[in-house]
């Protein structure tokens, strides 16, 4: 593979990743996004399509295009966990509550501020909205999508000897 | 990942699993570099157009994909399996008799029967053991290290307009 076209392919991939990250900030600041995961996937998908179009316009072949796509996929799988740590991590939210109380919080106040029943109710709403469990008369039951995720991770936890976790 | 799986499957006493995984990743780097140096660019089977004449670019690209697969892939799978709040809820429902749980039973049975309050205590312990917060005179206070982390998260959450319950 000659050098310059490969550099161009990787540069295109990196540039489109930068575009996706910039669009993430702009879109999430301008619009009240409710389906965050889907929106992020769409932004990175658009970046991948943009890269393919760039390579096609530049007359570069599919192999070089694949290098840039690998860079976009690599950025995506690293960025999604980072984003969800910032946005949804319970530890981060607790840390932010502590930051708002420089004198510290006694255990009772911690329990009041960090009301786990409210946190759980919010997360169950989010999960139902995402289609993992459904809420019925008898309670929460897993959908096919929820069974697939739960079953896959139960297998991993068994294989790796992990405890209940959570 | 075969090495990590073997370590976890055979070694029930592995305590710092994330650190162990990172150690295995670091050990894989000289193996990768050794394999890169010792094998021909075309691996003896690839056509010339699939080879890259500049070793630094070729090797560096492979390393970056390897690192992304580890940090964005396998390490995140472990973190989800071990600490995932949503995932634990789904697994609790999957393990319930009749595969259905009321909201109240989700709370009392969380984490394999430990209860939802245990989740909060685990997060508090995590903040203390990582040095982000400390108990002083019966109050949980943020440390300077925790303050720096909190400022970073506040900035990121503001930039991405994250202010809603997740």
Instruction: Encode pLDDT of A122-145 as tens digits.
Output: 999 999 999 999 999 999 999 999
| Pairwise CA distance, residues A130 & A35, whole Å | 9
pLDDT per residue as tens digits for the range A55-108: 999 988 888 899 999 999 999 999 999 998 998 888 998 999 999 998 999 999
Query: Residue A166 and residue B85: Cβ atoms within 8 Å?
Result: yes
| Pairwise CA distance, residues A70 & A98, whole Å | 40
**Per-residue confidence (pLDDT) for residue A15, from 0 to 100:** 97
**Per-residue confidence (pLDDT) for residue B12, from 0 to 100:** 67
Q: Which of residues 16-55 of A touch B (CB under 8 A)?
A: 24-25, 28-29, 32
What percent of chain A is modeled with pLDDT above 70? 98
CB atoms within 10 A of CB A71: 24
Question: What is the average pLDDT across B16-27?
Answer: 91
**Per-residue confidence (pLDDT) for residue A45, from 0 to 100:** 97
**Mutation site for B-interface testing, chosen from A89, A157, A166 by largest number of B Cβ within 10 Å:** A166
Average pLDDT, chain A: 91
**Per-residue confidence (pLDDT) for residue A34, from 0 to 100:** 81
Nearest to B81 among A6, A103, A160 (CB): A160
Question: What is the average pLDDT across B89-110?
Answer: 93
What percent of chain B is modeled with pLDDT above 70? 98
Token pair recorded at residue A145: 């999508």
Instruction: Name the residue of chain A whose CA is nearest to B15's CA.
Output: A162
Report chain B residues whose CB lies below 8 A from the CB of A91.
123, 126-127
Q: Is the pLDDT of residue A117 over 70?
A: yes
The edge-to-edge listing of strands for the beta sheet with B100-101 is A133-136, A139-142, B100-101
Q: Is the pLDDT of residue A162 over 90?
A: no
| Pairwise CA distance, residues A93 & A108, whole Å | 17
Query: Residue A116 and residue B139: Cβ atoms within 8 Å?
Result: no
Q: Which of A59-63, B57-61, B77-81, B124-128 has the lowest mean pLDDT?
A: A59-63
Yes or no: say if A72 and A17 are a contact pair by the CB < 8 Å rule: yes
**Per-residue confidence (pLDDT) for residue A44, from 0 to 100:** 97
Report chain B residues whose CB lies below 8 A from the CB of A99.
142, 146-147, 150-151, 154
**Residues forming a β-bridge with A134:** A141
Judged by phi (left if over 0) then psi (alpha if -120 to 50, else beta), residue A131 lies in left
Report chain A residues whose CB lies below 8 A from the CB of B77.
156
Question: What is the average pLDDT across B126-152?
Answer: 96
Strands, E assignment, A28-84: none
* Planar angle of CA A39, A45, A47, nearest 5 degrees: 110
Q: Which of A20-29, A151-160, B10-19, B59-68 has the lowest mean pLDDT?
A: B10-19
Q: Is the pLDDT of residue B81 over 80?
A: yes
Query: Chain centroid to CA A4: how far?
Result: 33
Question: What is the average pLDDT across B43-71?
Answer: 90
Q: Is the pLDDT of residue B83 over 90?
A: no
Question: What's the ipTM?
Answer: 0.78
Q: Which of A7-16, A126-135, B62-71, B157-166 has the lowest mean pLDDT?
A: B157-166
SS3 B82: helix
Nearest one of A76, A6, A27, A26 to A48, comparing CA atoms: A76
Question: What is the average pLDDT across A44-57?
Answer: 96
What percent of chain B is modeled with pLDDT above 90? 66
Report chain A residues whose CB lies below 8 A from the CB of B54.
3
């Amino acid at each position: 593979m000659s050098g310059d076209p490969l550099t161009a392919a990787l540069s295109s991939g990196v540039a489109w990743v930068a575009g996706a990250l910039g669009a993430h900030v702009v879109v999430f600041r301008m619009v009240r996004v409710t389906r965050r995961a889907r929106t992020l996937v769409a932004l990175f998908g658009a970046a991948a399509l943009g890269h393919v179009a760039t390579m096609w316009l530049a007359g570069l072949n599919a192999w070089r295009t694949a290098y840039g796509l690998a860079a976009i996929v690599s950025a995506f799988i690293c960025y999604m966990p980072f984003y969800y740590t910032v946005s949804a991590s319970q530890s981060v939210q607790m840390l932010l509550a502590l930051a708002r109380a420089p004198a510290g919080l006694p255990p009772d106040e911690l329990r009041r501020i960090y009301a786990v029943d409210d946190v759980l109710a919010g997360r169950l709403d989010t999960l139902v909205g995402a289609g993992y469990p459904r809420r019925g008369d008898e309670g929460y039951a897993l959908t096919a999508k929820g069974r697939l995720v739960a079953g896959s991770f139960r297998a991993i936890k068994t294989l790796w000897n992990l405890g209940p976790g959570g | 990942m075969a090495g990590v799986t073997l370590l976890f499957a055979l070694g029930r006493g592995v305590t710092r699993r994330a650190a162990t995984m990172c150690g295995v990743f670091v050990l894989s780097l000289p193996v990768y570099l050794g394999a890169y140096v010792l094998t021909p660019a075309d691996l003896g089977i690839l056509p010339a157009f699939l080879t890259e004449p500049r070793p630094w670019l070729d090797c560096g690209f492979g390393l970056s994909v390897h690192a992304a697969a580890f940090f964005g892939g396998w390490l995140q799978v472990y973190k989800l399996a071990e600490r995932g709040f949503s995932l634990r809820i789904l697994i609790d429902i999957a393990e319930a008799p009749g595969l259905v749980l009321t909201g109240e039973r989700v709370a009392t049975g969380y984490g394999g029967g430990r209860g939802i309050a245990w989740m909060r205590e685990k997060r508090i312990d995590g903040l203390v053991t990582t040095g982000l917060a400390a108990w002083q005179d019966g109050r949980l206070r943020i440390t300077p290290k925790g303050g720096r982390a909190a400022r970073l998260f506040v900035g990121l959450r503001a930039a991405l307009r994250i202010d809603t319950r997740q």
